[in-house]
Each structure stands twice: as structure tokens, then as C-alpha cells.
Chains A and B, each alone.
Chain A
């Protein structure tokens, strides 16, 4: 029968005790996120160039997932074309550098352009719901990539090769690593602020029931546009950093800056960690990108199959994400004191019920 699972978001807490408990949780999440990033910040000390470039990629994907979390996790809109902002950021940096402009100007222009694009694009597409929104955003990303390739922006077929920065190779790579890390920290702080702000609460209301939110007087449309723009900004910055770090760009195809694979990674990472949580995208991003990179090396031939199987297992058995799984297994209901073993066994039962409630 239709056993509707209780809403499992931090703002659904009922009663004063529940609210107080949740309001400490944002702080723990933020501290956990900062601790994770601080640990990653030690990577360049090892002096290993391979490890440095691996973790630069991982942190970049964390930023992408964190950016997607604003529109996909908090507002609950299935944006499948967020790679378009990554591409705009990368193209802006590439074109600025090709025309002799400074790197910071390219980053600034890319971020402004992506924010403006998200605003103008949001006006029509955020009136769409569900699958239609997903595919409209997906289509726009595909179309823009094809346009860059067909109009040969930046070079034949849209392919660009940039001159590396005038710095020692190792120092430049270390700087890019810390650039991505700072961006991730900034996005983490932004998410923590959002989760506690009126804006964030409105987005969660939209995710849970848009009609009810509208009826309560929340200007849902403008909040959605705001969330879309917010998710575009870090994504565009990451694209700009990526362009100057990676140096050679192509618009379409695997690894192209408009490749839908990036969008899928954002969604999968956010899902694995926990969509609409502060630190979830960070954790999901680290786990998935680390697995992807290491399995590509170890099982190059079948890493696509492994990734596909991983996605299937995560969506069936971990639909709420790791953060909420840990919460279910460790936290007792509001106002009740339970031993840790009781919490765990009760938690396992709740999680099993939740997974079963998704099926027929």
C-alpha cells in the first residue's frame, strides 16, 4: 500500500526539541566540511604531481556538485544542463586569454555571463516542471556546445589550446589546486548560509510542495530563478579555472566543456552524499570522483560498466544519500533517549522501510 515516507529534511522537524536539534546540525555539517577541505589542503605537501592533479579534479567535481545542490538539492529541480555554466566559464577564460586579456578578467566575465545566462534562461524554463525542465536544460547545454563547435568559436571545431601561465609547472598546478579548494570552501559557506536563511527555507518549501509554497505567499518563481543563478556562479568559476589549468578545450564529446557527462556527475555525486544537505555534495564528489579516477586506471576497459552498475545500486539502495543514512542510524527520535544499539537497529528498520516504500 501507499506508505508515504515522512519528509526527511532538516526543516520538517516538529516541536521545539526537533528544531533545536536540527539547528545544531548545520554547525556540525559545516565543521565536518571545513575539516574535510582542510585535510585535502595537505595533499600538495606530499610533492606527488599525480596525486595533486587527481585531487584537483576531485575538488573541481565537488564544486560542481555543490553548485548543482542549490537548484537540484534545495529547490528540487532536476537541472540536467548545469554543464552549460561550466562551458560558459571555460569559454570566457579561453577567449579572454586568446585575445591577450588577463586571467582574472576572463573569470569575472565568465561568472557574470553565466549568471546572466542563468537568469535569462530561467525566465522561460523555470516555468516548466519535472521531466520537461530536465530535458529543456539538457537540450540547451547540448545546443550551446554544438553551436560553439559549428561556429568554430576559439578555433576550428571550437577547439582551443592555451599557452600555460608564465610560472613553474609545479607552482602553477599548486595554485590551481588551492584555487579550486578556496572555491569549494566558499560554496560550502554559501550553502551553510543558504540552509539557515529565509531563501533556503523557501527553496525547500518549493521542493516539498510548490503549490502550497505559492499559497503561503512565497514568490516561488523568483526564488527558483535565484537558486538557478546561485548554482551557475560557482560552476562558471570552476569552468574558468579548469580552462587555464587544463589548457586544451573542446566543446563537445567526452570530456568537452559542454559534455552532459559533467551534468550527470553533479547529480550522481549530490545524490550519493545527500541532496539538499550542506556537506553531502562534498562527500559524494570525493567518493565518486576518486572511484572513477582509480577504476579508470585499474580497470580501464570496464570502468564504464562499473560506473553504470554503481549508479544503479546507489539509486536503488541509497536513495536518500549517505548523510541521511548516517543520521537515521545515529539519531534517536526527538525527545526520546535511546541507547546507541537501539538507535542503530531502529534506524536500520526505518531505512529498510524507506527503501521498500519506493517500490511497488
Chain B
């Protein structure tokens, strides 16, 4: 494989990974919740996009928007009904709660949608740009661009809008924010709903570019964690940096003969443990989310 091809593959998979981790990073940064149901929300988004394409014959890019809307509602309900009840409990409690949610959603998905591997085969799939020996799949490039756009949009939303500022304020100091007249329960629900919507977008991209099935959920949760820990928690751009770094680790380790493709996860975790020990805040990490 030419080096330029490795570079292209890396950028494409890296931006996809950034999309996987973006919502996870927001929820963790603002509410200090490691959302173990993130992967299953992502898979739900993939199913929304899949059925929008196969049953409603919609363009896959409209499927992304539908997946975001559907997952926004699901996320809002989850936070309002369940997570808000344990938000002040020790971290293991939210850990267990979101794990239970993950188990519930994954098994329900398996029950209703079966364990078959699915993928969207749109007219764009298989369309490639070729530059010499380098092959660039168009659909993946569009998905990567959307991932970067979402990162920028989230960053602007948090920094420039009143609602975004309220989310940041709640993340910095919950009780002070409440004294300033911010409704905490609703802001948390909005934050989780946004995180779920971003997971839905990543799921729709997954459906467009790769295969998926319900049991893949755990893998994407794990990826999201590694990416956020690598990139740093403080900012949406940390997810992008972490996604690119994680993509680099998996792409390189897959192409080095001595390591081989079976050990990509091992290599990723080895990198993670190194980063955690050497720089616990991640590459772009800050003290709070902004």
C-alpha cells in the first residue's frame, strides 16, 4: 500500500472516530458521566438511517438528520427519566446505570432488528476518486466532512449561544448555575439529548460506510472512551484530535507486519495507557468543557 493511501485512510477513519466520540465527550465533560450506552445509541442511529434508506428510500444524508432527531428525543427521555435521578451519586452508580441501559437497548435492538449485519448500499457507495494509485471513496469523504462540520458546530453552539453558555455554566458549577436561574434538569436533558443526537449522526455515517449489528455497540463505546481520553476532555476539538490519533494508532498497527491486524485494539489500549500515565488530561485537555 502506498504511503499516501495510508494517509488518506487515516484521515477518513480518524474523522469518523471523531464523530463517534463527539457526543460522548460532551456528556462526559458537562455531566461527568461516562455514558456506557453511547455505543448502543450510535447503533440505534445506524438503524434509523438504515430504515430511512431501505423503507422510505431517502437519501442517506437526509438519514443522518433523521437519526439525529430521533436520537435527540431518545436521549432527552433517558436523561429526564433515569439519569437525572442518580446525577449526584458516586461515579460507579452512573457507570452501572448506563451499562444497564446499554444492555437493554442492545438486546431490544437484537430482538426487533435481528443480529444480521446491515449496511446502506446507496448509489454513492463504491464511487471512488482515483489519484494515481490512491483510491478515495467519495461517500467516506463526505462523512468525514460532516464529522468536522459537527465538531465546529458544537463548538460554536457552546461558545456563542445563550443555551450553549448555560450548558457550559452547568458543567462548571451546577449549584452556582442554578442560582443564576438555569433549570438544571432541563439543561442536563438537553446536554444528553445533544450527545445522543451526535451519536445518532455517527451511527448514520457508520451505516453508510461500514457494516453494523447490535453487538458492535460495546466496541464503539470503548472506542469513544479511548478517543476522548487521548484527545482530552475539555473541548469538542479534543474529540477530533483524539479521533485522528486513535485512527493513526489503528491504521499504523494494522499495516505493520510484526503486529498484524488482529491486535489493533491491543495497540490502541497500549497507547491509551501510555497517554493516561504520561499526560492524564489528554492532548488538548482543559480543566473544564469549553
Chain B CB within 10 Å — which of A135, A307, A314 has the most?
A135
A146 touches B265 (CB 8 A): yes
Q: Tell which of A260, A268, A316 has the most Cβ of chain B within 10 Å.
A: A316
Per DSSP, chain B at the interface is helix
Q: Could you say which residues of chain A place their CB within 8 Å of the CB of B92?
A: 72, 78, 267, 271, 275
Q: What separation, in Å, do the CA atoms of A139 and B276 have in the docked complex?
A: 12
CA distance A87 to B28 in the complex (A): 30
B107 close to A (CB within 8 Å):
yes
Is A360 part of the contact surface with B, judged by Cβ < 8 Å?
Answer: yes
> Known contacts A150-B263, A311-B103, A360-B184; is A271 also within 8 Å of B96 by CB?
yes
DSSP majority for the A interface? Answer: helix
B222 within 8 A of A: yes
B104 lies within 8 A of chain A by Cβ: yes
Q: Write the chain B residue with the least CB distance to A207.
A: B90
CA distance A3 to B269 in the complex (A): 39
Interface size on B, residues (CB 8 A): 50
Contacts of A108 in B (CB 8 A): none
Contact with A along B243-283 (1 / 0, CB 8 A): 00000000000000000101101100110110011001000
Give chain B interface residues in 50-107, CB to chain A under 8 Å.
82, 84-97, 99-107
Q: Is the CB of A304 within 8 A of B107?
A: yes
Minimum CB distance partner of B96 in chain A: A315
Instruction: Tell whether A134 pairs with B34 under 8 Å between CB atoms, given A78-B95, A302-B111, A311-B99.
Output: yes
Report the nearest A residue to B272, measured CB to CB: A139
Number of A-B contacts (CB under 8 A): 142
Could you say which residues of chain B place their CB within 8 Å of the CB of A146?
262-263, 265-266
Closest B-chain residue to A303, C-beta based? B107
Residues in chain B near residue A128, CB distance under 8 A: 276-277, 280
Contact across chains for B280 and A308 when beta carbons are under 8 A apart: no
Q: Tell me if A305 and B89 are in contact (CB < 8 A).
A: no
- The residues of B that contact A310 with a CB separation of less than 8 Å are 100
8 Å CB interface, A115-168 against B: 124-125, 127-128, 130-132, 134-136, 138-140, 142-143, 146-147, 149-150
Complex contact B226–A139 (CB within 8 A): yes
Q: Are A268 and B96 neighbours in the complex by a CB distance under 8 Å?
A: yes
A-side contacts of B97, CB under 8 Å: 311-312, 315-316
Q: Are B270 and A319 in contact (CB under 8 A)?
A: no
User: Contacts of A149 on B, CB cut-off 8 Å?
Assistant: 262
A2 touches B (CB below 8 Å): yes
Is B229 in the interface zone, CB < 8 Å from A?
A: yes
* A357 contacts partner chain B, Cβ-Cβ < 8 Å: yes
A315 with B100, Cβ < 8 A, contacts A146-B266, A271-B92, A360-B185 known = yes
A264 to B99, Cβ gap below 8 A?
A: yes
B110 proximity list for chain A (CB < 8 A): 304
Task: Determine whether A359 belongs to the interface, using a CB cutoff of 8 Å to chain B.
Answer: yes
Contact partner of A150 (CB less than 8 A), chosen from B95, B225, B260, is B260
* A50 in contact (CB, < 8 A): no
Q: Is B145 part of the contact surface with A, judged by Cβ < 8 Å?
A: no
- Is A301 in contact with chain B by the CB < 8 A criterion? yes
> Taking the complex as formed, is A309 at the interface, i.e. its CB lies under 8 A from any CB of chain B?
yes
CB distance from A78 to the nearest CB of B (A): 5
A143 partner, pick from B188, B229, B266, beta carbons under 8 A? B266
- A328: min CB distance to chain B, Å: 16
Are A307 and B103 in touch, CB under 8 angstroms?
yes
**Would A319 and B89 count as touching, CB distance under 8 A?**
yes
Cβ–Cβ < 8 Å partners of A271 in chain B: 92-93, 96
Q: Is the CB of B280 within 8 A of A359?
A: no
Contact indicator per residue, chain A 263-292, by CB within 8 Å of chain B (1) or not (0): 010011001000100000000000000000
A359 touches B263 (CB 8 A): no
- A23 interface residue (CB < 8 Å to B): no
Would you call B88 and A357 a contact (CB within 8 A)?
A: yes
Contact residues in A for B91 (Cβ distance below 8 Å): 78, 130-131, 134
Contact B96 A147 (CB under 8 A): no
| A contact residues around B185 at 8 Å (CB) | 360
A262 and B13 alpha carbons, distance in the complex (Å): 31
Given the interface pairs A315-B86, A319-B89, A359-B85, the reply to whether A143 lies near B269 with Cβ below 8 Å is: yes
Contacts of B175 in A (CB 8 A): 1-2
Provide the residues of chain B in CB contact with A304, threshold 8 Å: 103-104, 106-107, 110
Given contacts A78-B95, A146-B266, A360-B188, A305 and B104 within 8 Å (CB-CB): yes
Would A316 and B276 count as touching, CB distance under 8 A? Answer: no
CB-defined interface of A74-90 with B at 8 Å, one 1/0 digit per residue?
00101010000000000
Given B87, B96, B108, B229, which contacts A132 in the complex, CB threshold below 8 Å? B229
In the complex, the answer to whether A308 meets B273 with C-beta atoms within 8 Å is no
Contacts of A72 in B (CB 8 A): 92
How far, in angstroms, from A80 to B106 measured CA to CA in the complex?
20
Determine if A143 and B103 form an interchain contact, defined as CB atoms under 8 angstroms apart.
no
Of all chain B residues, the one with the shortest Cβ separation from A78 is B92
The residue from B34, B99, B272 contacting A131, defined by CB atoms under 8 A apart:
B34
Q: A345 an interface residue at 8 Å Cβ cutoff?
A: no
> Most chain-B Cβ atoms within 10 A of its Cβ — which of A143, A275, A301?
A143
Q: Are A127 and B277 in contact (CB under 8 A)?
A: yes
Contacts A125-B277, A134-B95, A308-B105 given; 14 further ones with Cβ under 8 A? A78-B92, A78-B95, A128-B277, A138-B222, A267-B95, A271-B92, A304-B106, A309-B100, A311-B99, A355-B85, A357-B88, A358-B86, A358-B89, A360-B88
25 contacts between A and B (CB under 8 A): A2-B175, A127-B277, A132-B276, A135-B34, A135-B225, A136-B273, A142-B269, A146-B263, A150-B262, A271-B92, A271-B93, A304-B106, A305-B104, A307-B103, A308-B100, A308-B104, A308-B105, A310-B100, A311-B103, A312-B104, A315-B86, A316-B82, A316-B85, A358-B85, A358-B86
